């Protein structure tokens, strides 16, 4: 798990440093013991908050959908020449990636707007 966590932090830091994503949606240690909470990482320095453990069970696909919908709505109020795409990185297990694929098939957002950081999952 620590190796996965280390690689996850490195990749998130690289994506944010190279400005390939605007935000990474992942997990951080929860305020209660034995919990993990969704977090939104926007700077390379914040990537140290990312964790990967058996308590990372929430489907983060919902947060990706909400972030991109909110951005699309905000862009409607911007002049067309000033509009820009938001790119969201998301930590995903196999089951979460399936929900992202469904959202993409339903054209809820474009594939270029999502960077998937896949992590292994042995099931619950």
- pLDDT tens-digit profile of 20-35? 999 999 999 999 999 9
Residue 9 has pLDDT above 90, yes or no: yes
Averaged confidence pLDDT in the chain: 92
> Hey, what's the torsion of the CAs at 96, 97, 102, 103, to 10 degrees?
80
> Hey, what's the torsion of the CAs at 77, 80, 84, 88, to 10 degrees?
50
What is the band of 63 on the pLDDT scale with cuts at 50, 70, 90?
Answer: very high
What is the band of 59 on the pLDDT scale with cuts at 50, 70, 90?
Answer: very high
Long-range contacts of 8-13 (CB under 8 A, 24+ apart): 8/50, 8/52, 8/91, 8/117, 8/119, 9/47, 9/48, 9/50, 11/117, 12/41, 12/47, 12/50, 12/89, 12/117, 13/44, 13/47
Q: Which residues contact 102 (CB under 8 A, 6 or more apart)?
A: none
The pLDDT assigned to 124 comes to 59
**pLDDT > 70: percent of the chain:** 98
Domains of the chain by residue range: 2-118
Residue 78 has pLDDT above 90, yes or no: no
The pLDDT assigned to 1 comes to 62
The pLDDT assigned to 80 comes to 84
Number of helices (H), then strands (E), belonging to the chain: the values are 3, 4
The pLDDT assigned to 121 comes to 81
Task: Give all strands (DSSP E) within 14-95, no chain letters.
Answer: 23-29, 36-41, 88-92
What is the band of 118 on the pLDDT scale with cuts at 50, 70, 90?
Answer: very high
What is the band of 119 on the pLDDT scale with cuts at 50, 70, 90?
Answer: very high
Cα separation, 64 vs 48, in Å, equals: 21
């Amino acid at each position: 798990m620590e190796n996965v966590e280390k690689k996850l932090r490195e990749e998130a830091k690289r994506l944010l440093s190279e400005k390939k994503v605007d935000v990474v949606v992942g997990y951080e240690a929860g305020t209660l013991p034995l919990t993990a909470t969704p977090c939104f990482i926007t700077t390379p320095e914040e990537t140290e908050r990312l964790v990967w453990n058996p308590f990372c069970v929430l489907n983060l696909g919902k947060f990706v959908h909400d972030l991109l919908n909110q951005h699309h709505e905000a862009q409607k109020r911007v002049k067309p020449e000033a509009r820009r795409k938001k790119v969201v990185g998301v930590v995903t297990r196999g089951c979460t990636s399936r929900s992202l694929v469904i959202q993409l098939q339903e054209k809820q957002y474009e594939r270029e707007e999502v960077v998937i950081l896949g992590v292994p999952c042995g099931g619950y």
